[in-house]
Amino acid sequence: MDQTQQKALNALESYILLSKSATSPRAAADLVTQATSALNTYVFAELLQTPNIQSLRTASAEYAPYLTLLEIFSWGTWSDYTSTPDLPQLSDIQSHKLRQLSLLTLSTSHATLTYSHLLSVLALPNVRVLEDLVISSIYAGLLTAKLDTLSKRVDVSSVSPLRDLRPNSVPQMVAVLDDWNNRCVGVLAEIEGQVREVRRKATERRKREQEHEKIVERAINDDGLKEKGRPAAKRGAGDTENGGGYDADGGDAMDVDDTLARGGARNAKRGGMRFSGFGKRLGG
């Protein structure tokens, strides 16, 4: 529970106890005046629900308006007070407190409040009085805000949960919460859809990468097989691998054989001629 709210409940507790003895309309009306004028009393729902205060609803026209006044302090605003006829006259302390509570109500729905708007709805005479009201509300813990005197506005950052609920306001709150819940469900569904789409694209990208890797690997393997199965280049008739190559000194073995063959033929020819001549001499 908020500290300011707890302080306000503690301040109201004594008046709740006093309500048990306020059995007459006059005593109940006086108790309303005391509670709305006391220091730190900003919530009134529990006092409003006590039997003796509720009995003012059927009281005479002199005291019945005090119940309406307490209801305005519970959940109403300064505009409600000024627009409702036959209400009791407020003291300066009560007027100041009701304007503080009205400022609190306005701050719950607007983060930025202009001076001109506040001066109008709170019926304040000038800016100095308005700024004093805002400052006193800040020091009382009713709200957290900053005065922008240059732009003439009040920037509200947080408010205390001190206003009571109006009658029959719960269904409206439920409707607002249902609408908020539906919007949250819609946003969540949209986020989940985006997550699924991102995952789908990531899966497709990974699949393409794997297919590309397989194609590259298959191409590398095919090139390797082609390199191994390629036939050796044709070599010359004197290639050493074909049996007739070069000698150890790099010469051509076929040339040596041809030379030897030609030399033998010449020797054979010369020898034959000499043999022929010798035969003639023997014959002769």
Element (H, E) at 179: helix 170-228
Q: Rounded to whole angstroms, how far apart are CA atoms 112 and 155? A: 5
Residue with tokens 């194609």: 215
Q: What angle is formed at CA 101 by the lines to CA 96 and CA 103, rounded to 5 degrees?
A: 95
Give the per-residue pLDDT at 1.
Answer: 63
Retrieve residue 252's tokens.
């051509």
Does the predicted model carry a pTM greater than 0.85?
Answer: no
Retrieve residue 226's tokens.
């082609």
Give the per-residue pLDDT at 230.
Answer: 62
Neighbours of 261 (CB within 10 A): 9
Give the per-residue pLDDT at 217.
Answer: 86
Q: Residues in the chain with pLDDT < 70?
A: 1, 225-226, 228-284
User: Sheet containing 112-114: which strands, arranged edge to edge?
Assistant: 112-114, 153-159, 143-148
pLDDT, tens digit, 9 for 90 and up, residues 118-137: 999 999 999 999 999 999 99
